[in-house]
Amino acid sequence: MNYIEARNKVLVERYTVSVEGFETALKQYTDLDKSIPKVEKEQPVIREEKPVIPLEQPPSPPPSSPIEIPTVKTEIPQSTSKESTQPDERPSTMKFDEGISLSSADIISRPSASDSPEELKRLAREQESTLEDQDLDKLLQEPVTSVEILAKVFRSGVIPEIVAAMLFLGIRMKASDVHIEAQDNMVRLRYRIDGILHDVIRVPGFLLAPLTSRIKILSKMKIDEQRIPQDGRFDVVIDHRQVDLRVSTLPTVHGEKVVMRLLDKSSGVLTLEQLGVTGSNFDNLIANINKPYGVILSTGPTGSGKSTTLYAILSRISKPGVNIITLEDPVEYELSGINQSQVKPQIGFTFAEGLRSVLRQDPNVIMVGEIRDLETAAMATHAALTGHLVLSTLHTNDAAGALPRLINMGVEPFLITSSVNAVIGQRLVRKVCDKCRARTTIPPAILTFIKKELAAIPSTQMRHIDLDQLVFYHGTGCAECDNGYSGRFGIFEVLPMSDKIEELAVRKAPTSQIKHAAIAEGMITMTQDGLIKALKGITTVDEVIRVTTTEIKEVPGV
């Protein structure tokens, strides 16, 4: 007997409900969290003194056909070993579009929707036994290799298994973030893959409270606190991989929104060449990281790969005779031969306090995860001026913006010019799929802009590029990639300090003047680097435009 038949039987035998009465109540009460007894109690008119007519047309689809998937491709190679899921083996992706929708009737075992402190504490006690080794693979009956399998787990209503399944599929799909969003009477699950958010599945709203509670338990958050944002983290084994998760909750009008950042510690650290640092950008960067002291800054928005670039630099300069110490929040990848420390601001172990201690540890190279304030910036410049190589990140739109940003923080310009060696600006773009790459045409207005940008590049970087014979590529979409893209890599600009740049910094010149001076001295901008890679068929013009819109916003048609 399926769910609908069982429900009908209960209605007929226990509540003496007629067809007309039930349909009236159903139309009036659309809230998925109302149980049948509550509906009957609030709608007494459904009790009638006449023979009961069985419900012949169920108000919602039966569990055997709940999925609305017009365009879902979900074939992913199954794997039960770590060797077959290495980072360079990207599985076939799926076409999410609007994902899968499950109704309230599809959830076989409905978990408690109560969010009272007593109920949440009871839930915590019940789930405590599943947290001993944090191996979420043990909670799953089979590998979650498709959205359909994920939907099957959701139908079970078993919350620990649902959370494990969401994370398992996210890791398989190489998602960087998992979003759980509360909406009107439903919960939406989304994955960010290659920088783009994809809808995966929509489920009834009553699942929100137990899902968020489970994640809070794993993250050691206060499960009964829903009024303010919370942050947490936890480590788990998923798909035979050690994964670090940074968790953030945010109260919204429909309930708490949860975002989990996935950091796959087994994926390893890439080299600068593998990241996409090429040409004069590569030469300038290597020349400056080989100096025994000074500051190297990596700039860009959140999620642009700044920390990954610093890890690649550390791997390159790590030698037996070099003492490297890092201060991170959190430690994303563990590097052999490097002393890595995670700051804990909540107990006073900040980047600035950590730097003071690190300077007493006889370091050669120091990495500071991020310069967030004047105190950290001052300590970093002091460390560089006392003979240490300092690597750090800064949130600015481009490399030229780093110098005014430090000045605005309160760092004296003469300290900046004396300590900073070079600034890296970067973005991540999607790679064209090798299996379906084909030539494409570019609109005339965009082509004019491209030629202007390429013409400004020094001739040494343009040896194999004919401005009259420009050829660009795109991905047509295939079974391997679905959307024409597969993976990501970086586009860069490296601004080395020079006499002219130092002069502008001392004068507190704006970002635009510093950038123009750097270009005049031969700096390849991120846009130019991206266009060169688009000409090589590595990425598309559309991707370069998407991530560098601040530089090309005046182009007609963009």
The CA distance from 237 to 240, in Å, is: 6
More confidently predicted of 156 and 310: 310
pLDDT for 62 beyond 50:
no
pLDDT for 387 beyond 70:
yes
pLDDT, residue 555, reads 57
pLDDT, residue 412, reads 96
Residue keyed to tokens 């970086």: 490
- Rounded to a whole number of angstroms, the distance between the first and last alpha carbons of the chain is 57
Q: How many other CB atoms are found less than 10 A from the CB of residue 287?
A: 13
pLDDT for 61 beyond 50:
no
Q: Please list, in sequence order, all residues whose beta carbon lies within 8 angstroms of the beta carbon of residue 8, skipping any fewer than 6 positions away.
A: 54, 55, 58
Residue 408 binned pLDDT confidence (cut-offs 50, 70, 90):
very high
pLDDT for 339 beyond 50:
yes
> Quick one: average pLDDT of 226-240?
88
- Whether residue 197 contacts residue 191, with contact meaning beta carbons closer than 8 Å, is answered with yes
More confidently predicted of 70 and 467: 467
pLDDT, residue 31, reads 43
Q: How far is CA 244 from CA 68, 210, 238, 325, in A?
A: 33, 22, 10, 21
pLDDT, residue 515, reads 96
Pick the closest to residue 167 from 82, 268, 96, 242 (CA basis).
242
pLDDT, residue 522, reads 93
pLDDT for 358 beyond 90:
yes
Residue 95 binned pLDDT confidence (cut-offs 50, 70, 90):
low
User: Model confidence over 412-466: pLDDT tens digits?
Assistant: 999 999 999 999 999 999 999 999 999 999 999 999 999 999 998 887 777 678 8
More confidently predicted of 9 and 150: 150
User: Model confidence over 166-209: pLDDT tens digits?
Assistant: 999 999 988 999 999 999 889 999 999 999 999 999 999 999 99
pLDDT for 149 beyond 50:
yes
Q: Pull the structure tokens for residue 67.
A: 């999925």
Residue keyed to tokens 């009477």: 185
Residue 26 binned pLDDT confidence (cut-offs 50, 70, 90):
very low
Q: Please list, in sequence order, all residues whose beta carbon lies within 8 angstroms of the beta carbon of residue 137, skipping any fewer than 6 positions away.
A: 164, 168, 237, 238, 239, 240
In the chain, the largest separation of any two C-alpha atoms, in whole Å, equals 96
pLDDT for 356 beyond 60:
yes
Which domains occur in the chain, in start order? 100-264 (3.30.450.90), 272-548 (3.40.50.300)
Alpha carbon 257 to chain centroid, angstroms? 15
Residue 211 binned pLDDT confidence (cut-offs 50, 70, 90):
very high
Residue 107 binned pLDDT confidence (cut-offs 50, 70, 90):
low
| Proportion of the chain above pLDDT 70, given as a percent | 74
pLDDT for 550 beyond 70:
no
What is the phi-psi region of residue 180: left when phi exceeds 0, alpha when psi lies from -120 to 50, beta otherwise? beta
Q: Please list, in sequence order, all residues whose beta carbon lies within 8 angstroms of the beta carbon of residue 166, skipping any fewer than 6 positions away.
A: 150, 178, 180, 189
Residue 556 binned pLDDT confidence (cut-offs 50, 70, 90):
low
DSSP 52-103: PPP--S-SS--TTS----TT---------SGGGG-TT-PPPP---TT-EE--
pLDDT for 68 beyond 80:
no
User: Model confidence over 287-326: pLDDT tens digits?
Assistant: 999 999 999 999 999 889 999 999 999 999 999 999 999 9
Residue keyed to tokens 């001295």: 521
The CA distance from 175 to 197, in Å, is: 9
> Quick one: average pLDDT of 149-160?
91
pLDDT, residue 122, reads 58
pLDDT, residue 16, reads 46
